[in-house]
């Protein structure tokens, strides 16, 4: 057990090194992690580490889904709800059907039920890879919103298809009407459990005497409680986590204090980074085990099947993506849609951004070794290998070409009338004016002037004048005076840090107070560095 623990410690160190390498190469880190895990698998250094599907589903999946639900914009999610729902449900089901037919036709002895099982495994795209790649190039916000929203739902739909297909293979029976009813029941009740438990956790945060540490721990426990409660009653744990996460995310300002929000964001950022890194590296490490279990199927033939299924997935998603465009144009004649004419650039890139990830591999690994009759599960090893090839091919091929395609296609921002920079200026101006009104209200006539309030009022007036000037025309290019100011201000902050560190050596000063003011200085430097970066980009 101790050796296994240290192996995971070394894995985390390797993850950090590979992520830094990915940043240097300007490649999305999931691609580098999978390839790095693949290279490590040949060294046998981490042969003791295996992917347990129960661990992935219970330990990794709930927090990653929950963190994604907190990051997604509810406003954008609702605006593009029809597109997101079409990618998350109909397209996943259609893709599963196409994979079922193709695999049944190409693989000797592969039944249609096994085809649906494979389709349910490989149909859900992994949004982490796509969004990580899109952060490196300029893409319209709508594309990121749709991919993020899709990622919250497609895992649930694919796992439901997988569950029904697995039952059909094991029992040899399948009723379309019963499966359809159960499908909607699993979705509705899974969502209901997530919303119900979400309200319970909301009440705990809102009305019980919690501290920031307690709030943070509660946010860590919430996804596991939501997932386990739904899965215990055989409903969708994924949808329970997503619905509960979206609910609590929309109420974060009502139920959490500012300190709880700041502390929990930092914890979740680190946690999601480590979990994502581990699952992508573990995918690569699984190759030797999967290859050894191929059995009678030759390695070359298995690779061929994997490449054919990968090609089928890519073509099917592209066709479904453009099919959604046609459906949207027809539906716009009868109902109001977010975009009646989506064009071809966005749908093409959304169709290409269909990389597969850890959920597919975990689902494949969860296939039982034996049937209820005690016979080996048919084609289990081949399904595992094909799934791995699909993940590897889509991540590497689509992942490496997606930035190039984005630059080539150059999708336009069709739904944003005001630039992000101008939005920030407007918000900052409005905030400064609101603060100025409040300060004026506090300065009652006849009272002794408050020097601190007068100083704040003067600063706010300067801010409003500056924002008004910036909004009247394009921002002026950086000048030497502003550059010198930034340089001197950063040096001033460093001097203040040195002073705080010196005062920390004195016994009469509490280190927690010193750390508090060091954090304030860090926030000041962060804001200034962001302004410098934005100024440099505009130049």
Q: Consecutive sets of 10 residues in the chain, 539 residues long: mean pLDDT of each?
A: 78 92 86 87 76 76 87 78 80 89 90 89 79 71 79 79 83 67 83 95 94 94 94 88 91 86 87 87 79 76 91 91 79 68 80 83 81 82 89 87 84 64 72 77 66 75 74 56 71 84 78 78 79 67
Predicted local confidence at residue 507, as pLDDT: 74
Domain range list for the chain: 2-409, 421-475, 481-539
Q: Write down how long the chain is.
A: 539
Residue with tokens 């914009």: 73
CATH 1.20.1530.20 fits 2-409, yes or no: yes
Cβ–Cβ < 8 Å for 503, 515: no
Burial category of 5 from C-beta neighbours within 10 Å (exposed 0-12, middle 13-18, buried 19 and up):
exposed
Predicted local confidence at residue 200, as pLDDT: 96
Closest by Cα among 326, 341, 346, 322 to 405: 346
Cα dist from 357 to 23, 53, 121, 354, 360, whole Å: 20, 13, 10, 10, 6
Closest by Cα among 308, 288, 318, 320 to 393: 308
Give dist(CA 322, CA 319) in Å, integer: 5
Three-state SS for 326?
helix
Cα dist from 328 to 324, 335, 340, whole Å: 6, 10, 6
Give dist(CA 182, CA 234) in Å, integer: 11
Per-residue tokens: 539: 């130049």
Give the phi and the psi of residue 370 in degrees, each rounded to 5. Answer: -125, 150
């Amino acid at each position: 057990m101790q050796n296994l623990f240290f192996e995971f410690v070394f894995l985390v160190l390797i993850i950090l090194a590979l992520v830094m390498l990915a940043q240097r190469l300007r490649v999305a880190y999931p691609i580098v992690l999978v390839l790095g895990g693949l290279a490590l698998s040949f060294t046998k250094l981490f042969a003791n580490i295996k992917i347990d599907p129960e661990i992935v589903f219970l330990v990794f999946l709930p927090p990653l889904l929950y963190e994604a639900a907190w990051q997604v914009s509810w406003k954008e999610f609702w605006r593009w709800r029809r597109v997101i729902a079409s990618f998350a449900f109909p397209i996943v089901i259609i893709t599963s059907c196409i994979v079922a037919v193709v695999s049944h036709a190409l693989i000797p002895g592969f039944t249609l039920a096994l085809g649906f099982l494979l389709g349910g495994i490989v149909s859900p795209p992994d949004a982490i890879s796509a969004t990580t790649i899109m952060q490196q190039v300029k893409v319209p916000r709508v594309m990121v919103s749709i991919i993020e929203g899709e990622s919250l739902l497609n895992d649930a739909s694919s796992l439901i298809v997988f569950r029904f297909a697995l039952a059909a293979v094991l029992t040899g029976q399948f009723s379309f009407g019963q499966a359809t009813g159960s499908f909607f029941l699993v979705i509705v009740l899974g969502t209901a459990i997530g919303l119900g438990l979400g309200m319970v956790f909301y009440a705990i945060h809102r009305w019980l005497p919690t501290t920031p540490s307690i709030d943070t721990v509660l946010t860590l426990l919430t996804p596991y409680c939501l997932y386990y409660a739904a899965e215990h009653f055989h409903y969708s744990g994924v949808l329970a986590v997503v619905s509960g996460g979206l609910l609590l995310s929309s109420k974060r300002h009502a139920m959490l204090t500012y300190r709880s929000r700041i502390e929990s964001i930092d914890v979740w950022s680190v946690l999601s980074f480590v979990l994502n890194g581990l699952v992508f590296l573990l995918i690569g490490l699984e190759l030797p085990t999967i290859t050894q279990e191929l059995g009678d199927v030759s390695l070359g033939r298995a690779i061929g099947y994997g490449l054919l299924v990968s090609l089928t997935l890519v073509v099917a998603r592209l066709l479904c993506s453009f099919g959604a465009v046609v459906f949207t144009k027809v539906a716009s004649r009868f109902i109001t849609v977010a975009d009646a004419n989506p064009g071809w650039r966005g749908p093409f890139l959304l169709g290409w951004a269909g990389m597969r990830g850890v959920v597919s591999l975990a689902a494949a690994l969860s296939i039982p070794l034996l049937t209820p009759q005690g016979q080996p599960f048919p084609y289990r090893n081949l399904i595992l290998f094909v799934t791995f090839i699909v993940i590897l091919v889509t991540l590497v091929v689509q992942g490496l070409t997606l930035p190039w395609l984005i630059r080539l296609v150059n999708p336009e921002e069709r739904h944003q009338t005001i630039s992000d920079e101008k939005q920030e200026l407007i918000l900052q101006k409005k905030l400064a004016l609101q603060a100025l009104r409040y300060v004026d209200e506090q300065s009652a006539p006849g009272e002794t002037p408050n020097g601190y309030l007068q100083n704040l009022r003067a600063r706010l007036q300067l801010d409003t004048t500056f924002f008004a000037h910036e909004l009247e025309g394009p921002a002026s290019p950086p000048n030497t005076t502003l550059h010198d100011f930034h340089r001197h201000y950063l040096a001033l902050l460093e001097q203040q840090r040195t002073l705080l560190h010196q005062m920390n050596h004195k016994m009469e000063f509490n280190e927690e107070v010193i750390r508090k003011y060091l954090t304030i200085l860090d926030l000041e430097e962060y804001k200034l560095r962001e302004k410098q970066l934005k100024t440099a980009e505009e130049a």
